[in-house]
């Protein structure tokens, strides 16, 4: 112990107390002998009395001098404030650390944030809507990730709503439209595609569709759609404008909630199935993808067709009811709406079209103003690319073009020949041959046999794939 430390101890207590403590510490009373307790108590009592007396003298001197008393009061208050401030800082630091640890721990078990504008509701794990029969019960995002067989972190990565990102979950390209122009296709990358297929197989595919829906459904096709309208006096085709972009994230989330899932599950499901349009920007040699607008249903994701059918169930119900009331038959293939009727129904075409526009608008869609066709029996009636005047058939002009190209390839080979939008004429001929057999097996079989012989001659690998 230094001399200064000794002086400090004496100043804090008293000289006698320090001497007593040192005598006891140094063992002036051997083990087994009583220490001088009465003397020690007296020394400590005297020291305590002296300290109280000193404090009272100091207070008396302070009160005798108002300026000094004010300074002492300010000094004391400042010291108390500093002590409180330090204690508050300590408590806040402990609280921040505790929250950080709790957040880190919850991130392992839950998804707490999935980006701007979409995270509200992630903590809502209850719903008043009963879960539809046959769907897997999912309480939260962790249960969803476990059911998918992926880590929670991967689900968070795939579903996160980024305004600006250095990664992109979709590969985008365009294909030509039949009516002209180009159609944007957004094909998901492998990890997201696997997650979307899980959603499709385990949720969307287990919900029954309306009978009027014929697109993107098992055992239904353009052929089953066209059969509803064979031999009618009038066939009416309408097209929904910007069908896929009309289906926003909010509508997709609402679909999953209507199926019985709470927001804690509906939000990541909807994020997995939607994407915003993005602009690709290069900055400092790195690519960045900047969101340009709200999240929409991508055309190219495996979940998108099933989602469109499920969202359109109420639209289909209302249009079926309208058609029956006016004497028409209704069916839908994707965004193509078809009505047909005979007899008295022909007089109600105007009433039908006006009502259809109202129902479509009420359901959040828009009828394309340039794609409404009214086809009477005296002209060629087409439904999803097939004629339906007397029977479902491939249009004659299309068959004539096909036979002409097929004959040219048989005589002169495939070089320089084209049929349809495909670049490989052999593949196009085989594909159309199978299509003709599907529509009319009797007339299509000879065409397919000719296409197979051509493929065997010029593309043996393709002919070997014959089912």
Chosen domain end from 367, 393, 419: 393
Per residue in 305-346, pLDDT (tens digit) is: 999 999 999 999 999 999 999 999 999 999 999 999 999 999
HSE-CB at 422 with a 13 A cutoff on CA atoms is 11
Per residue in 151-206, pLDDT (tens digit) is: 999 999 999 999 998 889 999 988 887 766 788 899 999 999 999 999 999 999 99
Chosen domain end from 27, 43, 64: 64
Domain membership of residue 92 (yes or no) is: no
Domain membership of residue 331 (yes or no) is: yes
Reading phi first (left if > 0) and then psi (alpha if -120 to 50, else beta), residue 385 is in left
Domain count, the chain: 4
Helix-, strand-, coil-residue percentages of the chain, each rounded to 5? 55, 15, 30
In angstroms, the CA 237 to CA 373 distance is 5
What DSSP line would sit under 427-463, residue for residue?
HHHHHHHHHHHHH-HHHHHHHHHHHHHHHHHH-HHHH
Domain membership of residue 446 (yes or no) is: yes
Mean pLDDT, the chain, rounded, equals 89
In angstroms, the CA 162 to CA 168 distance is 10
H or E, element range at 406: helix 396-412
H or E, element range at 21: helix 15-26
Beta bridge partners of 234: 341, 376
Q: 118 and 186 in one domain?
A: yes
CA angle in degrees (0–180, nearest 5) for 440-444-449: 150
Q: 227 and 194 in one domain?
A: no
What DSSP line would sit under 264-305, residue for residue?
HHHHHHHHHH-EEEEEEEEETTEEEEEEEEEEE--BTBTTHH
Cα dihedral 228/231/233/236 (nearest 10)? 40
Expressed as residue numbers, the domain containing 173 is 111-206+248-296
What's the confidence (pLDDT) of residue 70? 79
**CA nearest neighbour of 216 among 341, 144, 311:** 311
pTM (2 d.p.): 0.76
**CA nearest neighbour of 328 among 350, 311, 312:** 350
Per residue in 391-445, pLDDT (tens digit) is: 999 999 999 999 999 999 999 998 989 898 888 899 999 999 999 999 999 999 9
Per residue in 199-240, pLDDT (tens digit) is: 999 999 999 999 999 999 989 999 999 999 999 999 999 999
Q: 457 and 421 in one domain?
A: yes
**CA nearest neighbour of 244 among 137, 366, 350:** 366
Q: 364 and 378 in one domain?
A: yes
CA angle in degrees (0–180, nearest 5) for 248-250-256: 110
Domain membership of residue 197 (yes or no) is: yes
Query: Looking at the predicted structure, is the pLDDT value of residue 66 above 80?
Result: no
What DSSP line would sit under 339-358, residue for residue?
EEE-GGGGGGHHHHHHHHHH
The contacts of residue 167 (CB under 8 Å, 6+ apart) are 289
Q: 409 and 280 in one domain?
A: no
In angstroms, the CA 199 to CA 197 distance is 5
Mean of pLDDT values over 291-304: 94
Q: 312 and 165 in one domain?
A: no
Domain membership of residue 80 (yes or no) is: no
Q: By the 8 A CB rule, do 360 and 240 touch?
A: yes
The dihedral through the CA atoms of 409, 412, 417, 423 has a sign that is positive
CA angle in degrees (0–180, nearest 5) for 166-175-373: 130
Domain membership of residue 193 (yes or no) is: yes
Reading phi first (left if > 0) and then psi (alpha if -120 to 50, else beta), residue 327 is in left
Query: Looking at the predicted structure, is the pLDDT value of residue 348 above 70?
Result: yes
Q: Output phi, psi for 14, to 5 deg.
A: -160, 165
Q: 259 and 124 in one domain?
A: yes
Between strands 328-333 and 336-341, the pairing is: antiparallel
Q: Give the burial string for 239-248 (b: 16+ CB within 10 Å, else e).
A: bbbebbebbb
CATH number at residue 226: 3.30.70.270
Q: Is 394 helix (H, G, I), strand (E, B) or coil?
A: coil
Q: By the 8 A CB rule, do 238 and 368 touch?
A: yes
H or E, element range at 80: helix 66-109
Task: Report the length, in residues, of the chain.
Answer: 467
Q: 183 and 140 in one domain?
A: yes
Q: 29 and 7 in one domain?
A: yes
User: CA–CA distance from 296 to each of 61, 223, 251, 443, 462 (Å)?
Assistant: 80, 29, 9, 43, 38
Q: 405 and 385 in one domain?
A: no
Chosen domain end from 277, 296, 315: 296
Q: 414 and 430 in one domain?
A: yes
What's the confidence (pLDDT) of residue 49? 78
Q: 173 and 141 in one domain?
A: yes
Domain membership of residue 228 (yes or no) is: yes
Per residue in 9-50, pLDDT (tens digit) is: 777 777 777 777 777 777 764 444 555 566 667 666 777 777
Domain membership of residue 52 (yes or no) is: yes
Q: By the 8 A CB rule, do 296 and 275 touch?
A: yes
């Amino acid at each position: 112990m230094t001399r200064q430390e000794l002086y400090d101890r004496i100043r804090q207590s008293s000289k006698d107390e320090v001497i007593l403590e040192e005598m006891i510490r140094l063992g002036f009373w051997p083990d087994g002998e009583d220490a001088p307790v009465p003397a020690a108590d007296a020394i400590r009592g005297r020291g305590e009395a002296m300290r109280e007396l000193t404090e009272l003298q100091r207070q008396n001197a302070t009160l005798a001098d108002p300026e000094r008393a004010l300074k002492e009061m300010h000094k004391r208050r400042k010291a108390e404030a500093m002590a409180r401030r330090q204690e508050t800082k300590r408590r806040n630091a402990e609280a921040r650390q505790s929250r950080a640890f709790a957040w880190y721990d919850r991130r392992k078990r839950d998804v707490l944030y999935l980006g701007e504008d979409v995270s509200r509701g992630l903590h809502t794990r209850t719903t008043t809507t009963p879960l539809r029969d046959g769907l897997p019960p999912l309480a939260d995002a962790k249960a969803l990730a476990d059911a998918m067989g992926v880590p929670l972190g991967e689900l968070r990565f795939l579903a996160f709503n980024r305004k600006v990102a250095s990664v992109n979950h979709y590969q985008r390209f365009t294909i030509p439209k039949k009516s002209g122009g180009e159609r944007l296709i957004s094909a998901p990358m492998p990890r997201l595609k696997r997650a979307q297929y899980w959603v499709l197989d385990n949720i969307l595919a287990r919900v029954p569709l309306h009978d009027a829906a014929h697109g993107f459904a098992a055992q239904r096709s353009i052929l089953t759609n066209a059969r509803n309208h064979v031999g009618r006096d009038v066939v009416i085709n309408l097209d929904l404008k910007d069908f896929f972009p009309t289906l926003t994230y909010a509508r997709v989330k609402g679909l999953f909630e209507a199926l019985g899932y709470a927001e804690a599950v509906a939000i990541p499901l909807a994020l997995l199935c939607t994407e915003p349009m993005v602009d690709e920007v290069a900055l400092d040699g790195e690519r960045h993808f900047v969101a340009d607008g709200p999240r929409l249903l991508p055309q190219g994701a495996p979940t998108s067709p099933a989602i469109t059918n499920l969202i359109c169930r109420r639209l289909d119900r209302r249009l079926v009811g309208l058609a029956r009331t006016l004497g028409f038959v209704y069916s839908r293939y994707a965004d193509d709406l078809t009505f047909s009727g005979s007899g008295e129904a022909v007089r109600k075409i105007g009433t039908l079209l006006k009502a259809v526009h109202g129902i479509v608008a009420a359901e959040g869609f828009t009828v394309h103003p340039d794609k409404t066709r009214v086809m009477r029996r005296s002209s060629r009636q087409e439904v999803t690319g097939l004629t339906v005047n007397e029977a479902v058939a491939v249009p004659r002009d299309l068959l004539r073009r096909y036979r002409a190209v097929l004959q040219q390839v048989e005589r002169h080979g495939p070089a320089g020949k084209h049929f349809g939008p495909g670049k490989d004429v052999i593949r196009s001929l085989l594909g159309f041959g199978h299509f003709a057999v599907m529509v009319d097996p009797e007339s299509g079989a000879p065409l397919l046999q000719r296409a197979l012989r051509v493929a065997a001659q010029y593309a043996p690998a393709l002919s070997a794939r014959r089912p």
